[in-house]
Homo-oligomer: A and B are copies of this chain.
Amino acid sequence: MSTTKKAHTTPPYELIYWPTIPGRGEFIRLVFEATGTPYTDIANETKDGISAVLALKDETATTSGDGNPPAFAPPALKIPGQGKDGKALVIYQTPSILAYLGNKLNFAGTDEAEKHYILSHTLTALDLNNETHDTHHPIASQLYYEDQKPEALRKATDFRESRLPKFFGFFERVLKGNEEGGGKFLVGGKLSYADTTLWHVLDGLKFAFPKELAAREKEFPALFGSFYGSVKEVSGLKEYLASDRRLQYSQGVFRYYPELDRQ
């Protein structure tokens, strides 16, 4: 973990998420990396870190510790000293964690309007993330892909033909409408967690649907040209993406099944 000036002024953030996959935890990691904020990715970095993830999933608990409510699912963020009576604050749900960190780390625009645009666009990017997951699990998360393959083929076809152009077209218009951003930022004139979140979804889609994305990229030049290309070159992100902390796509949200891609 890089040490920066922020090491002395920010609390010791702990990300509680499954190890080995990017998953929804990645949206939170990218915020830390892009802002140069020290954090502990507890299940990937500590020997018994997985126990913190399993404790979060205890379906008998009425708290997640220190007086915080239980969490429905990982990821969660633990911030020592920021909760009730000086205890740790524990929050869950990716958009809620991103909104919290966006405020604390100056990564959520410059005024109240921008703050809400950023949250709204982030929610839309995460909806696309969820719809991507449902292409290989349209019936039930707890079943194997192989047990819902006919449905997955049907769902993925609609996703590629109708949903992808709708989402891509929307974000293309957002980029074009934000003159201050020059095609590099969704909102205003600086990077925010909306940008890192959308960027990761696009990157995951390139992995999961390579033929479909290759065919579509030219239709959305702002999104796949200036935006996708510039975010990955941002200081902090560039180094992270080249490091072994950036986990590989495998069996998480973004999976490569050739039969679900454009034929």
Instruction: Write the residues of chain A forming the contact surface with B, with a CB cutoff of 8 angstroms.
Output: 59-63, 68-72, 82-84, 89, 91-93, 95-96, 99-100, 112-113, 116-117, 119-121, 123-124, 127, 130, 134, 138-140, 142-143, 151, 154-155, 158, 162, 166-167, 169-170, 173-174, 176-178, 186-187
Give the shortest distance, in Å, between A235 (CB) and chain B (any CB).
26
Label chain A's interface by main secondary structure.
helix
B174 touches A69 (CB 8 A): yes
Chain B contacts for A127, CB-based, 8 A: 72
8 contacts between A and B (CB under 8 A): A61-B173, A69-B174, A70-B174, A72-B124, A72-B127, A95-B123, A96-B120, A151-B151
- Say whether B123 contacts A139, CB under 8 Å: no
Distance of A92 Cα from B100 Cα, bound (Å): 19
A139 & B140 in contact (Cβ 8 Å cutoff): no
A177 near B69 with CB under 8 A, answer yes
Say whether B138 contacts A123, CB under 8 Å.
no
Q: Output the nearest chain B residue to A77 by Cβ-Cβ distance.
A: B116
Q: How far is the CA of A134 from the CA of B155 in the complex (A)?
A: 12
Interface centre among A72, A83, A187 (most CB of B within 10 A): A72
Q: Are B173 and A158 in contact (CB under 8 A)?
A: no
CA distance A169 to B58 in the complex (A): 11
- Using CB atoms, name the residue of chain B closest to A162: B142
Please report the C-alpha to C-alpha distance between residue A62 and residue B169 in the assembled complex, in whole angstroms: 10
A113 to chain B: which residues have CB within 8 Å?
A: 68, 82-84, 89
Question: What chain B residues lie within 8 Å of A140 (beta carbons)?
Answer: 154-155, 158, 162
Task: Answer whether A138 and B151 are a contact pair too, CB < 8 Å, given A72-B124, A169-B59, A177-B63.
Answer: yes
Contact call A142/B158, Cβ cutoff below 8 A: yes
Residues from chain B with Cβ under 8 Å of A134 in the complex: 134
The 9 residue pairs across chains A and B that have the minimum distance between CB atoms: A62-B177, A140-B158, A93-B120, A93-B123, A96-B120, A96-B119, A91-B116, A72-B124, A62-B173
Within the complex, the shortest CB–CB distance from A53 to chain B, in Å, comes to 16
**Contact in complex: B70, A96 (CB < 8 Å):** no
Q: From B70, B72, B120, give the contact of A177 (CB < 8 A).
A: B70
A158 to B158, CA, bound (A): 22
Pick the most buried of A68, A70, A120, A155: most chain B CB atoms within 10 A of its CB: A120
